[in-house]
Amino acid sequence: MLGSWRWNVGFGLLGTLLIIIFSMNSNPMSVVLLRSLYAFVSFFVLAFAARAALAAILKPPAMIVNAEERQADNGSQLDLTTPDESEDLNDMLKAQLQGDANHSGKDNALAVQSSQFKPLNPPQFVSADDNQPEHLAKALRHLTGE
Protein backbone atom coordinates (compact mmCIF):
# COMPACT_ATOMS: atom_id res chain seq x y z
CA MET A 1 0.00 0.00 0.00
CA LEU A 2 1.12 3.53 -0.69
CA GLY A 3 2.16 5.60 2.37
CA SER A 4 1.10 4.90 5.95
CA TRP A 5 -1.85 5.39 8.29
CA ARG A 6 -0.62 8.94 8.99
CA TRP A 7 -1.95 10.01 5.59
CA ASN A 8 -5.39 8.75 6.59
CA VAL A 9 -5.27 10.68 9.87
CA GLY A 10 -4.09 13.80 8.03
CA PHE A 11 -7.00 13.63 5.58
CA GLY A 12 -9.39 12.97 8.47
CA LEU A 13 -8.13 16.06 10.28
CA LEU A 14 -8.46 18.09 7.09
CA GLY A 15 -12.11 17.03 6.77
CA THR A 16 -12.71 17.85 10.44
CA LEU A 17 -11.17 21.28 10.04
CA LEU A 18 -13.28 22.05 6.96
CA ILE A 19 -16.51 21.06 8.74
CA ILE A 20 -15.63 23.17 11.79
CA ILE A 21 -14.82 26.22 9.64
CA PHE A 22 -17.96 26.04 7.47
CA SER A 23 -20.54 25.08 10.12
CA MET A 24 -19.32 27.06 13.18
CA ASN A 25 -21.45 30.13 12.47
CA SER A 26 -24.75 28.40 11.73
CA ASN A 27 -24.82 25.44 14.18
CA PRO A 28 -24.42 24.92 17.92
CA MET A 29 -21.11 23.51 19.16
CA SER A 30 -22.50 19.99 19.87
CA VAL A 31 -23.74 19.64 16.26
CA VAL A 32 -20.42 20.96 14.90
CA LEU A 33 -18.43 18.43 16.98
CA LEU A 34 -20.71 15.53 16.00
CA ARG A 35 -20.49 16.45 12.28
CA SER A 36 -16.72 16.91 12.54
CA LEU A 37 -16.46 13.40 14.03
CA TYR A 38 -18.47 12.03 11.10
CA ALA A 39 -16.27 14.00 8.71
CA PHE A 40 -13.11 12.59 10.32
CA VAL A 41 -14.34 9.00 9.90
CA SER A 42 -15.54 9.65 6.35
CA PHE A 43 -12.30 11.30 5.22
CA PHE A 44 -10.25 8.60 6.98
CA VAL A 45 -12.07 5.87 5.00
CA LEU A 46 -11.91 7.85 1.75
CA ALA A 47 -8.16 8.34 2.20
CA PHE A 48 -7.77 4.60 2.78
CA ALA A 49 -9.69 3.84 -0.44
CA ALA A 50 -7.68 6.45 -2.39
CA ARG A 51 -4.40 5.00 -1.11
CA ALA A 52 -5.50 1.47 -2.06
CA ALA A 53 -6.46 2.64 -5.57
CA LEU A 54 -3.14 4.49 -6.01
CA ALA A 55 -1.21 1.44 -4.83
CA ALA A 56 -3.02 -0.75 -7.35
CA ILE A 57 -2.43 1.71 -10.19
CA LEU A 58 1.23 2.43 -9.44
CA LYS A 59 2.19 -1.20 -8.74
CA PRO A 60 4.85 -2.42 -11.22
CA PRO A 61 3.98 -5.58 -13.16
CA ALA A 62 5.23 -8.76 -11.52
CA MET A 63 7.86 -10.77 -13.35
CA ILE A 64 6.94 -14.44 -13.82
CA VAL A 65 9.72 -16.56 -12.37
CA ASN A 66 8.10 -19.89 -11.66
CA ALA A 67 7.67 -22.42 -14.47
CA GLU A 68 4.35 -23.64 -13.04
CA GLU A 69 3.01 -20.10 -12.96
CA ARG A 70 4.16 -19.60 -16.55
CA GLN A 71 2.25 -22.75 -17.54
CA ALA A 72 -0.89 -21.47 -15.78
CA ASP A 73 -0.65 -18.09 -17.51
CA ASN A 74 -0.43 -19.49 -21.06
CA GLY A 75 -2.36 -17.34 -23.47
CA SER A 76 -2.47 -14.29 -21.22
CA GLN A 77 0.87 -12.90 -22.34
CA LEU A 78 2.63 -12.74 -25.69
CA ASP A 79 5.36 -15.36 -25.96
CA LEU A 80 8.07 -14.20 -28.37
CA THR A 81 10.28 -17.28 -28.25
CA THR A 82 10.68 -19.37 -31.39
CA PRO A 83 10.64 -23.15 -31.16
CA ASP A 84 13.81 -25.09 -31.80
CA GLU A 85 13.43 -26.59 -35.29
CA SER A 86 17.00 -27.69 -35.87
CA GLU A 87 16.00 -31.38 -36.08
CA ASP A 88 13.43 -30.64 -38.79
CA LEU A 89 15.97 -28.57 -40.69
CA ASN A 90 18.57 -31.31 -40.47
CA ASP A 91 16.03 -33.89 -41.70
CA MET A 92 15.06 -31.72 -44.66
CA LEU A 93 18.71 -31.18 -45.60
CA LYS A 94 19.46 -34.91 -45.35
CA ALA A 95 16.42 -35.74 -47.47
CA GLN A 96 17.47 -33.19 -50.07
CA LEU A 97 20.99 -34.58 -50.22
CA GLN A 98 19.80 -38.18 -50.44
CA GLY A 99 16.96 -37.40 -52.83
CA ASP A 100 14.50 -39.31 -50.64
CA ALA A 101 11.05 -37.73 -51.06
CA ASN A 102 9.14 -40.36 -49.05
CA HIS A 103 10.58 -39.39 -45.66
CA SER A 104 7.61 -37.63 -44.04
CA GLY A 105 4.53 -35.53 -44.84
CA LYS A 106 6.48 -32.29 -44.71
CA ASP A 107 9.18 -33.74 -46.89
CA ASN A 108 6.57 -34.88 -49.45
CA ALA A 109 5.27 -31.35 -49.78
CA LEU A 110 8.83 -30.09 -50.03
CA ALA A 111 9.61 -32.68 -52.70
CA VAL A 112 6.54 -31.68 -54.73
CA GLN A 113 7.61 -28.05 -54.53
CA SER A 114 11.19 -28.84 -55.45
CA SER A 115 10.11 -31.02 -58.41
CA GLN A 116 7.97 -28.18 -59.75
CA PHE A 117 10.69 -25.60 -59.32
CA LYS A 118 12.90 -24.97 -62.32
CA PRO A 119 15.49 -22.24 -62.16
CA LEU A 120 15.38 -19.45 -64.68
CA ASN A 121 17.64 -20.22 -67.61
CA PRO A 122 17.99 -17.00 -69.60
CA PRO A 123 19.59 -17.06 -73.06
CA GLN A 124 23.20 -16.07 -72.99
CA PHE A 125 24.45 -13.17 -75.04
CA VAL A 126 26.86 -14.11 -77.74
CA SER A 127 29.46 -11.68 -78.94
CA ALA A 128 29.81 -11.22 -82.64
CA ASP A 129 32.82 -12.71 -84.31
CA ASP A 130 32.61 -9.92 -86.85
CA ASN A 131 35.01 -7.33 -85.48
CA GLN A 132 35.63 -5.42 -88.68
CA PRO A 133 36.33 -1.71 -88.14
CA GLU A 134 33.70 -0.63 -90.67
CA HIS A 135 30.89 -2.42 -88.89
CA LEU A 136 32.05 -1.11 -85.50
CA ALA A 137 32.18 2.47 -86.84
CA LYS A 138 28.71 2.06 -88.35
CA ALA A 139 27.31 0.82 -85.04
CA LEU A 140 28.98 3.68 -83.17
CA ARG A 141 27.54 6.26 -85.59
CA HIS A 142 24.13 4.71 -85.21
CA LEU A 143 24.30 4.84 -81.40
CA THR A 144 25.55 8.44 -81.26
CA GLY A 145 22.94 9.60 -83.79
CA GLU A 146 25.34 10.86 -86.46
Please say whether the dihedral angle defined by the alpha carbons of residues 50, 54, 57 and 63, taken in this order, is positive or negative: negative
Model's pTM, two decimal places? Answer: 0.40
Place 2 in a pLDDT band, splitting at 50, 70 and 90: low
Helix (H, G, I), strand (E, B) or coil at 129: coil
Closest CA to 46 of 4, 15, 19, 2: 15
Q: Does the pLDDT of residue 65 top 60, yes or no? A: no
Q: Does the pLDDT of residue 54 top 70, yes or no? A: yes
Mean pLDDT, range 83-109, rounded to an integer: 72
